[in-house]
Structure 1
């Protein structure tokens, strides 16, 4: 189970979303529409703010990126890296059972 946000991606969020140190970015799973995932029919959504039940997190450049407990099942089979490629965010899912 690995969730990693690169420094470049954290700085992208800070610039593009006007985030400050201490802010939280929550990713969550939704059916259809959004950032594609490794699971068919599921996509990632995101919101700014903190919930009470953080399950998986990565703190980078003063920002906490996380999934709550209800969505952390994604990491039973897959690792997720958030990086910047060609100036855009890229979400890389890899099977952690290899």
Structure 2
């Protein structure tokens, strides 16, 4: 039940989306299409610029990355680590030992 974004991944988001300091990047669940998750038929999407009711939040390189309270179930049993590998962002779900 942890959420993290590596410094390298944060820099990628800053470059790709031309983010200014204190920008908000929200990760949310979608039913059709997007970034695969550990849940069949549910995908991860993202939106830039929205402030919300963040239950999981990290600030990296002055950018606020978060998961809204409505999507908290996504991390009920898993951790989500967002990392940059081979110049591409990877969304890594691992089973949480916290529960």
- TM surpasses 0.5: yes
- Structure 1 residues 35-46: aligned runs within 5 Å: 35-46=35-46
1:73 equivalent in alignment to 2:78? no
Aligned length: 98
How far apart, in 2, do the equivalents of 1:63 and 1:70 lie? 21
How far apart, in 2, do the equivalents of 1:9 and 1:55 lie? 20
What is the Cα-based RMSD across aligned positions, in Å?
1.2
CA displacement, residues 33-88 of structure 1 (integer Å, 9 cap, x when unaligned): 00000111000010012333111111100000011100011111000000001100
How far apart, in 1, do the equivalents of 2:54 and 2:96 lie? 21
- Structure 1 residues 51-70: aligned runs within 5 Å: 51-70=51-70
- Structure 1 residues 1-98: aligned runs within 5 Å: 1-97=1-97
CA contact (8 A) 2:3 2:56 kept: yes
Residue segments in structure 2 that go unaligned for 5+ positions in a row:
none
| Secondary structure at the counterpart of residue 74 of structure 1 | helix
- Which ranges of 4 or more aligned residues in structure 1 deviate by more than 4 Å? none
TM-score, length-scaled by structure 1: 0.95
TM-score, length-scaled by structure 2: 0.94
